[in-house]
A and B are shown apart, each in its own frame.
Chain A
Amino acid sequence: MSSSGGNSGGGGIGISAPQPYFCHQCNRTVSITPSPTSDLVCPVCGGGFLEEVQNPNPSPEPSPNSFFSFSSDDSSFGARGFPLLFTTTSSSGHGGGALVDDLPALFGGPLTRVSQSEDTDAFNPFAFLQNYLQTLRATGANVQFVIDGNPGDPAGFRVPTNLNLGDYFFGPGLEQLIQQLAENDPNRYGTPPASKSAMEGLPSVKITEELLASDSSQCAVCKDTFELGEEAKQMPCKHIYHSECILPWLELHNSCPVCRYELPTDDPDYEQRNRGTSTPANQSQAAGGFNISVGGGSINAVGDGSGSGATSGENPQTPRMVERRFTISLPQLFRVFGSTAETSNTGSGNNNGNNEGSNSENRGNQSTGSEPRHEDLD
């Protein structure tokens, strides 16, 4: 406590003691003894635009230990971890999420710190992130931040008022997030998933002797030779794959692995772009939206093909959000919560440095083709 604030503390009228206030005029925290008889005045600038400081002792540097005290002591986060979702949509589909509207609100402390810093040349991850998100907004993306609780818990997730999330995202976590944003994540930049109906509509063919004698006797994904009489899936371009080889790929990207022939997608933006221009399959991220979420032990952002996924671009005028999800493992930050939100209470076994185990579980559960990707960025 900055009890050293030498503001005539000796006067001590009654019970009141010096309290920390933030002066919005001179932009600093001051110590003032509230008086019942007069208005609050900043002792430095004399202004009256003062705000009581809730968390009077923000540490000047994010202390690495705060992670562990946070994760082990604050039981309000529960064993499910603490997924933080920056979402672009109405947050439907995320059970009981609390919306926080902007980055400064989330990262409050660091922003002030950063802006006070004189070292403008140094890479400032927070400013970068803010800038990046601003750019997304400028291109029409609707970026919001959702603190997403346990999906099954309708009560949602409470943000402790004195929690400065910025502290938890400084250091490696934030850097990873930025790297992920800035880097060409293949699962973000490749073509979108094939539509469900297109996948379901792929015909099955029986492997014949004739086919085995041809040069397509091998599944290009698993590199195994087909067996006589076995069933395989055939793409419209006639390329043949085991269904357990091609379907996981089509859930990620709509293209034929061999010739890049593209199946229809459930992504109206993508469909429209492809119809409108003659250039095929120009990726680049959908301007519709953007979505980052932070789970216990990971940051993931969702790539939800579309709202319902039922109709494939039937009504291109309807603005449907395209969410993108990707994941950054933060084992060093969320060691206690290592498991992702999807894993059950027994998930504590999954936190051995990466989330690969839970990742595959996620994939199995996702039917919309929205794949949480867990990327190891080192």
Chain B
Amino acid sequence: MANSNLPRRIIKETQRLLSEPAPGISASPSEDNMRYFNVMILGPSQSPYEGGVFKLELFLPEEYPMAPPKVRFLTKIYHPNIDKLGRICLDILKDKWSPALQIRTVLLSIQALLSAPNPDDPLSENIAKHWKTNEAEAVETAKEWTRLYASGE
């Protein structure tokens, strides 16, 4: 079973995520796979995502923490660094990963990315273009999508 040999660090991280969750973030492991987390991030205030509840999935690969967690948005979101499959363009999830980082810091970084979209390093070309040519309109679309898809049912 995947849970039989769970490294102590993962157990520690999980316990702390549950006992002292970061503001606006919840992460809880799946019952049948302790490496798979159901995550919710609240849209940061003063961002187009304010008021939204965004679901994500996070998976700790076997190599973790030598390799980064795999994280993906499940809730549809209009953001230049997130593509339509929910994949996230964030350096610490790729080449800037460090084993000193952890689930909590990753999720905080994703939350920060919602506050500060970076259309110059886009994952979603169209949305990035929209952001650069008409930011006000793009922000409106992001708000609209937040209402439509991230209203928390």
Q: What residues of chain A have their CB less than 8 Å away from a CB belonging to chain B?
A: 184, 186-187, 189-191, 220-224, 245, 248-249, 252, 255, 257-258, 260, 283, 356, 359-360, 373-376
Contacts and interface: CB of A to CB of B under 8 A. Distances in A.
B68 A186 contact: yes
Interface string B57-69: 0000111011110
A369 to B, nearest CB: 13
Contact of B102 (A190, A223, A248, A283): A223
A221 B100 contact: yes
Contacts of A258: 98, 100
B61 A249 contact: no
A138 to B, nearest CB: 23
Contact of A223 (B13, B62, B95, B96): B13
Interface of B: 8-9, 12-13, 61-63, 65-68, 93-100, 102
A257 B99 contact: yes
Contacts of A373: 63, 67
B67 A187 contact: yes
A376 B8 contact: no
B98 A222 contact: no
A184 B62 contact: no
Contact of A376 (B9, B61, B94, B96): B61
B12 A223 contact: yes
A189 B94 CA distance: 8
Tell me the interface secondary structure of chain A in the complex.
Answer: loop
B89 to A, nearest CB: 9
B95 A186 contact: yes
A249 B99 contact: yes
A186 B94 contact: yes
Given A186-B94, A257-B99, A249 B66 contact: yes
Given A223-B12, A248-B66, 19 more contacts: A184-B94, A186-B93, A186-B95, A189-B94, A189-B95, A190-B95, A190-B97, A221-B65, A221-B100, A223-B102, A224-B8, A249-B66, A252-B66, A255-B98, A257-B98, A258-B100, A373-B63, A374-B62, A375-B61
A292 B62 CA distance: 21
Given A223-B13, A224-B8, A260 B66 contact: no
Contact of B8 (A187, A222, A283, A356): A222
B99 A220 contact: yes
B71 to A, nearest CB: 13
Given A186-B68, A283-B95, A359 B8 contact: no
